[in-house]
Amino acid sequence: MDEATKEIQQNEIAALRAIFMDDFTDVEAKTAWNIKQDTPEFVVRIRPTDDELKEHVWVGLHVRFSKAYPRTAPQLIVESGRGLSDAQINEAQLMIKQQAATMVGGEMVYELSLLLSDFVTQHNSAAQAARPSFYEQMVERQQAGAQA
């Protein structure tokens, strides 16, 4: 890995750390021979853009830079978190990989995290889970009617 590529990677990681703070976690991957990998690897917890949902819904974006990143796409894995089904996680994974392929040549992790955040906001199940079911609404109306 040349020095310019290494500096680009380090600068992007520093910016992501500053932006995501507690939602940024370094991953110390080791090979089968217990040797530390020399390519950066980290997980960013992606939350929805809606403040009311931030504590109830999230996914992890696991990123591993290649030695040639940003000239090549990083390895990206959308990890299951809270509020999305497995099918939605798979859909998000496909979307992120397709978008990353179009962004090769420049830093992309922040833009991909914004795209994933929008996806999580639109497709989460927490908003539906927070609303009472029709049965619960009926019981509440019956109780309110009985008290009146």
What does the pLDDT average to over 27-56?
79
Q: Measured between alpha carbons, how far is 100 from 112 in angstroms, rounded to an integer?
A: 7
Q: Measured between alpha carbons, how far is 66 from 28 in angstroms, rounded to an integer?
A: 15
Q: Measured between alpha carbons, how far is 94 from 112 in angstroms, rounded to an integer?
A: 12
pLDDT tens, position by position, 118-145: 998 888 765 555 556 677 777 888 888 7
Mean pLDDT computed over every residue of the chain: 85
On the question of pLDDT at 74 being above 90, the answer is: yes
pLDDT for 29 equals 67
| Dihedrals phi, psi of 146, to nearest 5 degrees | -70, -30
**Sequence-ordered list of residues with C-beta below 8 angstroms from that of 104, at least 6 positions apart, any chain:** 70, 71, 72, 73
Residue with tokens 């990143």: 69
